[in-house]
């Protein structure tokens, strides 16, 4: 199974891997969600959705369905 | 006096752009709309050194020049249209020192349009606390621009910024990143086809779905033999552009920015452990709402009592000072009570806007979006629907507009459709006066009963909005896919100046907007109530006098004459015509008239009753006392009982009585279908609920 942002536990960090460009919304890239960047799960709402992330200093919340699109490597 | 310098203020949301705007212009600003669309347009005048002036346009916040909403389109349309009268001589990009990397993305895009661009690095006062140090010289050199280090909060750096605006001609228009590196071959062909245009501008024309005054993107293909690429290729290039820009910015910041993590303290994470907690987060949110409604109710009662008595004495005073006649009566019985009916609600409306702007300024609103998204989605809404629903408590019009931030069309449409159920400030006057009449002023578990009733009404509004959203989500068959991303900005202490300007502006526009309608309606009503057709009206005195025996005291007789006149005036005739429709709800014809005139705008209700009741009455009484004295024509006893009061409250909670909201919904959805459905369904629902409530409770 591929590891994605949606699989992170609270406080856990990962590095964003190359992703399938067509699926990722441009807006997410513009807000700093780029390959090679560090991502940390800060907080989740009930049912782990949405997820509150710290991506290289950018604090964002995205839905689980979007988080499933971002592949990571744990560190 | 020379020409004004046109300045466009551009920046990401949450960078303090509006604070910079407020510092530059002070109260010298006005809020309007862009022609044809409802995006709010804020502009102001800034005095520069040497007697010059700058016209400052505060453009909507945007993360990049790749527009995904109407608000962002505004920015691009302006920047690509040299003929626009607001086209900037100089662009000022506002960034936040803590999010410089992300903010610079937009800066590099603007810069590549070959417009002189100044970079403002705001919140400079936080640098030390965050362990950030900047090498301005390096940054200026690499970005080919002037940088102003500003703290809008501490009001530092603003004079330097003004100086830079004044000398904007010295700023280089050389791009800092050439678009052609995205795809040299493609941009080479583009350059050949359009030798005199900025390449990045052409690129935006190709990729953005916006209207341009003088460039048609389809014409790009046919006229010149230049062939653009497929949409998915273009999308890939846009992503490549973003990555390239970030690479450039990373390289730049490696030299120009140092962060000492040891001295950095991040309160955000610590606060968010509690404020976005899966239990405490909700508890705190609910407590905040409770506090707001209690405050609105308790704090504003003092200024309201004062305004109430002032208007009563003003009316008396006018009557005494001016010569007797219809004109004096129009002023003292029609206009003054009508206006008093709106002015009295200024304190509450101001408090409401005060709290809403604090929630937004502090950054807390984003946390609410985060907390509520999952729950709202079950009802076909988005977490972002919370902002329209909460600002709907001020007014449905800005709320419907705020729904624009919702990326998904179905979620957005449902939000727009249900927002008018939330308790807007125009309902407040009606609620307050009815609550004061039928709910006892007692304490229950330490809470004021009247305050609790008000809160219940607000919850009822939210509840109905959410229930109907759920229903609409089941009924509407619209497929739309999109994503949800929201920034969680750092917590900030709200700036007094921003909050104050917001409260003043919003309250002013509410009062002026509503005031005009109320003034017009109170004049019409006064005329209709003061004149009537035929002998029954004109000979009121003789008819009433002959009906009564000599025992009746003179004041009683006068009252009877006034009542008779009112009953046979034009308005009385209309009112009694609709009486059969409102009697089952527990109202008399006067309330019927007030309800009908409320379809223009709800806040007219109190003014209407005030005007109807003051006609022919000399006593200095407040509207509330007059209403309390009214007798139910069918059942006898006081007109405003618990049953009829609740029925009226429910009617106002549900009915779609606001022409301006209908007009905005039409503009935002581009069809009359939705506003007409809102009007019919909501009002029919209101009637049925009010009917049931009265029949059950009476």
Sequence ranges of the domains in chain B: 1-264, 280-429+442-475, 496-697
Angstrom distance (rounded) from CA B590 to CA B609: 7
Angstrom distance (rounded) from CA B539 to CA B568: 11
pLDDT digits (tens, 9 = 90+) for B301-328: 788 888 888 888 888 898 888 888 888 8
Angstrom distance (rounded) from CA A59 to CA B370: 12
Average pLDDT over residues A19-46: 85
pLDDT at B219: 55
Cis peptide before B306 (omega within 30 of 0): no
How many Å lie between the alpha carbon of A43 and the closest alpha carbon of chain B?
7
Do B278 and A45 count as a contact with CB atoms less than 8 A apart?
yes
Do B101 and A25 count as a contact with CB atoms less than 8 A apart?
no
Do B235 and A26 count as a contact with CB atoms less than 8 A apart?
yes
Do A46 and B235 count as a contact with CB atoms less than 8 A apart?
no
ipTM of the complex as predicted? 0.94
Q: Which residues of B218-248 are buried (b: 16+ CB within 10 A; e: fewer)?
A: eebeeeeebebeeeeeebbbbbebbbebbeb
How many Å lie between the alpha carbon of A10 and the closest alpha carbon of chain B?
11
Asked if B185 and B110 count as a contact pair (C-beta separation under 8 A), the reply is no
Average pLDDT over residues B248-257: 90
Asked if B393 and B427 count as a contact pair (C-beta separation under 8 A), the reply is no
Expressed in percent and rounded to 5, the helix, strand and coil fractions of chain A are 20, 35, 45
User: CB contact, 8 Å: A20 with chain B?
Assistant: no
- The distance from CA B686 to its chain's CA centroid, rounded to whole angstroms, is 25
| Percent of chain B topping pLDDT 90 | 27
pLDDT digits (tens, 9 = 90+) for B176-201: 887 778 888 888 888 888 877 788 88
- The pLDDT confidence band at residue B391, using thresholds 50, 70 and 90, is confident
- The pLDDT confidence band at residue B148, using thresholds 50, 70 and 90, is very high
Q: Is the pLDDT of residue B43 over 80?
A: yes
User: CB contact, 8 Å: A48 with chain B?
Assistant: no
| B231 → chain A, closest CA residue | A22
Q: Is the pLDDT of residue B205 over 60?
A: yes
Nearest to B506 by CA among B347, B390, B349: B349
A59 closest CB neighbour out of B232, B369, B487: B487
Asked if B180 and B187 count as a contact pair (C-beta separation under 8 A), the reply is yes
Angstrom distance (rounded) from CA B41 to CA B38: 9
Q: Which one is predicted more confidently, B371 or B554?
A: B371
Joined together, the tokens standing for residue B5 give 């310098």
According to DSSP, residue B263 is labeled G
Cis peptide before A50 (omega within 30 of 0): yes
Q: Determine which helix (DSSP H) or strand (DSSP E) holds B309, and give its type and residue range.
A: helix B301-321
Backbone phi, psi, residue A63, to 5°: -80, 160
Q: Which CATH class is domain B1-264?
A: alpha beta
Q: In 3-state terms, what secondary structure has residue B407?
A: coil
Joined together, the tokens standing for residue B272 give 């968010």
Residues B396, B648, B683: CA angle, nearest 5 degrees: 50
Residue with tokens 């006593």: B619
**What are the angstrom distances between the C-alpha of B245 and each of B12, B69, B178, B256?**
16, 22, 10, 16
Asked if B57 and B41 count as a contact pair (C-beta separation under 8 A), the reply is yes
User: CB contact, 8 Å: A68 with chain B?
Assistant: no
Q: Is the pLDDT of residue B59 over 70?
A: yes
- The pLDDT confidence band at residue B356, using thresholds 50, 70 and 90, is confident
Nearest to B536 by CA among B557, B564, B576: B564
**What are the angstrom distances between the C-alpha of B232 and each of B182, B290, B523?**
15, 50, 61
Angle between helix axes B604-614 and B496-530 (nearest 10 degrees) is: 40
Q: How many CA atoms lie within 13 A of B84 on its CB side?
A: 21
Residue with tokens 């949405």: A50
- Mutation pick from B271, B365, B485, B487 vs chain A, by most beta carbons of A within 10 Å, is B485
Region of residue B671 (phi > 0: left; psi between -120 and 50: alpha; otherwise: beta)? beta
Do B370 and A50 count as a contact with CB atoms less than 8 A apart?
yes
pLDDT digits (tens, 9 = 90+) for A60-75: 999 998 898 889 999 8
Angstrom distance (rounded) from CA B483 to CA B486: 10
Angstrom distance (rounded) from CA B111 to CA B200: 10
How many Å lie between the alpha carbon of A73 and the closest alpha carbon of chain B?
20
Identify the burial level of B693 via C-beta atoms within 10 angstroms of its C-beta, where 0-12 means exposed, 13-18 middle and 19 or more buried: buried
| Backbone CA torsion sign across B417, B421, B425, B426 | positive
How many Å lie between the alpha carbon of A1 and the closest alpha carbon of chain B?
23
Residues B126, B129, B130: CA angle, nearest 5 degrees: 80
Q: Which residues from chain B sit within 8 angstroms of residue A62, using beta carbons?
A: 483-486
Asked if A53 and A62 count as a contact pair (C-beta separation under 8 A), the reply is yes
From the DSSP assignment, how many helices (H) and strands (E) are in chain B?
Answer: 33, 12
- The pLDDT confidence band at residue B1, using thresholds 50, 70 and 90, is very low
| A26 → chain B, closest CA residue | B239
Angstrom distance (rounded) from CA B354 to CA B356: 6
Do A66 and B66 count as a contact with CB atoms less than 8 A apart?
no
Q: Which residues from chain B sit within 8 angstroms of residue A17, using beta carbons?
A: none
Backbone phi, psi, residue B443, to 5°: -100, 140
pLDDT at B220: 58
| B273 → chain A, closest CA residue | A43
Angstrom distance (rounded) from CA B353 to CA B359: 10
Angstrom distance (rounded) from CA B377 to CA A15: 29
Task: Specify the range with the lowest mean pLDDT, choosing from B89-98, B398-407, B643-652, B689-698.
Answer: B398-407
Asked if B169 and B201 count as a contact pair (C-beta separation under 8 A), the reply is no
Joined together, the tokens standing for residue B537 give 């009206």
Q: Which residues from chain B sit within 8 angstroms of residue A21, using beta carbons?
A: 235-236, 239
| A28 → chain B, closest CA residue | B485
Angstrom distance (rounded) from CA B405 to CA B390: 14
B276 closest CB neighbour out of A43, A62, A65: A43
According to DSSP, residue B151 is labeled B
Strands B40-47 and A72-74, by their bridges, are unpaired
A47 closest CB neighbour out of B63, B99, B374: B374
Do B235 and A49 count as a contact with CB atoms less than 8 A apart?
no
Q: Is the pLDDT of residue A50 over 90?
A: yes
If one counts every other C-beta atom within 10 angstroms of the C-beta of residue B77, the result is 18
Q: Is the pLDDT of residue B263 over 70?
A: no
Asked if B382 and B406 count as a contact pair (C-beta separation under 8 A), the reply is yes
Q: Is the pLDDT of residue B266 over 80?
A: no
Asked if B149 and B141 count as a contact pair (C-beta separation under 8 A), the reply is no
**What are the angstrom distances between the C-alpha of B241 and each of B142, B181, B565?**
18, 9, 77
Joined together, the tokens standing for residue B305 give 């009592």
Angstrom distance (rounded) from CA B430 to CA B450: 13
Instruction: Give me the helices (H) in B422-533, please.
Output: 427-438, 449-475, 496-530
According to DSSP, residue B585 is labeled G
pTM over 0.90: no
User: CB contact, 8 Å: A47 with chain B?
Assistant: yes
Please, which residues have CB within 8 angstroms of residue B652's CB and are 6 or more apart in sequence?
B427, B430, B431, B598, B602, B605, B686
Do A29 and B236 count as a contact with CB atoms less than 8 A apart?
no
A59 closest CB neighbour out of B371, B483, B488: B488
- The pLDDT confidence band at residue B367, using thresholds 50, 70 and 90, is very high
Asked if B652 and B430 count as a contact pair (C-beta separation under 8 A), the reply is yes
Average pLDDT over residues B592-617: 76
Joined together, the tokens standing for residue B7 give 């300045």
Do B236 and A22 count as a contact with CB atoms less than 8 A apart?
yes
Angstrom distance (rounded) from CA B612 to CA B575: 11
- Measured CB to CB, residues of chain B less than 8 Å from chain A are 63-64, 66, 68, 98-99, 101-102, 105, 232, 235-236, 238-239, 242-243, 246, 268-269, 272-273, 276-278, 366, 369-371, 373-374, 383, 482-490
pLDDT at B549: 62
Angstrom distance (rounded) from CA B678 to CA B591: 23
Residue with tokens 């705001």: B122
Angstrom distance (rounded) from CA B518 to CA B510: 12
Angstrom distance (rounded) from CA B387 to CA B494: 18
| Percent of chain B topping pLDDT 70 | 90
């Amino acid at each position: 199974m591929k590891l994605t942002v949606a699989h992170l536990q609270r406080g856990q960090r990962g590095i964003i891997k190359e992703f399938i460009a067509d699926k990722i919304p441009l807006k997410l890239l513009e807000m700093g969600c780029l390959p090679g960047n560090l991502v940390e799960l800060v907080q989740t709402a009930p049912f782990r959705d949405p997820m509150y992330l710290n991506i290289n200093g950018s604090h964002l919340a995205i839905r689980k369905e979007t988080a499933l699109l971002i592949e990571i490597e744990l560190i | 006096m020379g020409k004004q310098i046109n300045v466009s203020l551009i920046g990401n949301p949450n960078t303090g752009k509006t604070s910079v705007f407020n510092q530059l212009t002070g109260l010298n600003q006005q809020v309007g709309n862009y022609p044809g669309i409802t995006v709010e347009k804020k502009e102001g005048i800034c005095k520069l050194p040497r007697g010059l002036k700058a016209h400052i346009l505060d453009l909507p916040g945007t993360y990049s020049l790749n527009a995904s909403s109407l608000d962002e389109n505004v920015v691009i349309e302006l920047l690509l249209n040299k003929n626009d009268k607001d086209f900037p001589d100089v662009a000022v990009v506002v960034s936040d020192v803590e999010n410089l990397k992300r903010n610079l993305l937009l800066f590099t895009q603007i810069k590549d349009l070959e417009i002189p661009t100044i970079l403002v690095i705001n919140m400079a006062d936080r640098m030390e606390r965050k362990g950030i140090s900047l090498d301005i010289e390096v940054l200026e050199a690499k970005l080919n621009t002037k940088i102003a280090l500003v703290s809008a909060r501490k009001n530092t750096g603003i004079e330097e910024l003004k100086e830079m605006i004044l000398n904007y001609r010295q700023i280089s228009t050389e791009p800092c990143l050439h678009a052609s590196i995205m795809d040299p071959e493609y941009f080479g062909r583009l350059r050949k086809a359009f030798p005199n245009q900025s390449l990045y501008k052409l690129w935006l024309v190709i990729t953005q779905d916006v209207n341009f005054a003088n460039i048609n993107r389809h014409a790009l293909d046919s006229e010149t033999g230049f062939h653009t690429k497929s949409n998915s290729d273009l999308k890939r290039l846009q992503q490549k552009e973003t990555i390239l820009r970030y690479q450039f910015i990373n390289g730049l910041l490696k030299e120009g920015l140092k962060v000492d993590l040891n001295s950095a303290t991040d309160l955000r994470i610590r606060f968010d452990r509690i404020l976005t907690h899966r239990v405490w987060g909700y508890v705190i949110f609910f407590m905040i709402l409770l506090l707001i409604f209690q405050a609105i109710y308790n704090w504003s009662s003092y200024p309201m009592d004062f305004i109430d008595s002032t208007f009563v004495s003003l009316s008396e005073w006018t009557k005494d000072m001016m010569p007797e006649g219809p004109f004096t009566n129009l002023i003292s019985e029609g206009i003054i009570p009508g206006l008093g009916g709106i002015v009295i609600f200024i304190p509450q409306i101001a408090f409401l806007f005060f709290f809403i702007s604090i929630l937004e300024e502090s950054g807390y609103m984003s946390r609410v979006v985060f907390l509520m998204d999952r729950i709202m989605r079950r009802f076909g809404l988005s977490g972002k629907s919370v902002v329209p629903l909460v600002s709907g408590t001020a007014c449905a019009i800005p709320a419907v507009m705020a729904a624009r931030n919702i990326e998904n069309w179905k979620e957005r449409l449902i939000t727009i459709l249900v927002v008018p159920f939330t308790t807007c400030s125009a309902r407040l006057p009606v609620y307050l006066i009815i609550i004061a009449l039928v709910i006892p002023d007692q304490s229950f578990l330490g809470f004021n009963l009247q305050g609790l009733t008000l809160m219940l009404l607000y919850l009822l509004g939210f509840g109905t909005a959410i229930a109907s959203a759920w229903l609409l989500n089941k009924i509407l068959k619209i497929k739309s896919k999109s994503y949800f991303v929201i920034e969680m900005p750092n917590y900030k202490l709200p700036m007094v100046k921003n909050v104050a300007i917001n409260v003043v502006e919003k309250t002013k526009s509410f009062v002026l907007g509503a005031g005009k309608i109320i003034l017009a309606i109170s004049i019409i009503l006064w005329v209709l109530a003061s004149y009537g057709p035929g002998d029954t009206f004109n000979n009121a005195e003789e008819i009433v006098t002959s009906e009564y025996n000599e025992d009746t005291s003179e004041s009683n007789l006068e009252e009877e004459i006034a009542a008779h006149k009112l009953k046979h005036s034009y308005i009385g005739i209309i009112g009694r015509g609709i009486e059969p429709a409102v009697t089952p709800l527990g109202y008399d014809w006067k309330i019927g008239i007030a309800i009908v005139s409320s379809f223009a705008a709800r806040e007219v209700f109190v003014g209407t009753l005030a005007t109807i009741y003051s006609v022919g009455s000399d006593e200095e009484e407040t509207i509330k006392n007059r209403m309390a004295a009214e007798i139910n024509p069918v059942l006898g006893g006081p007109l405003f009982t618990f049953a009829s009061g609740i029925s009226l409250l429910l009617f106002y909670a549900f009915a779609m009585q606001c022409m301006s909201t209908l007009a905005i919904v039409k503009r935002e959805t581009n069809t009359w279908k939705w506003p007409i459905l809102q009007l019919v369904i909501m009002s029919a629902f209101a009637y049925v609920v009010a009917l049931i409530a009265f029949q059950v409770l009476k």
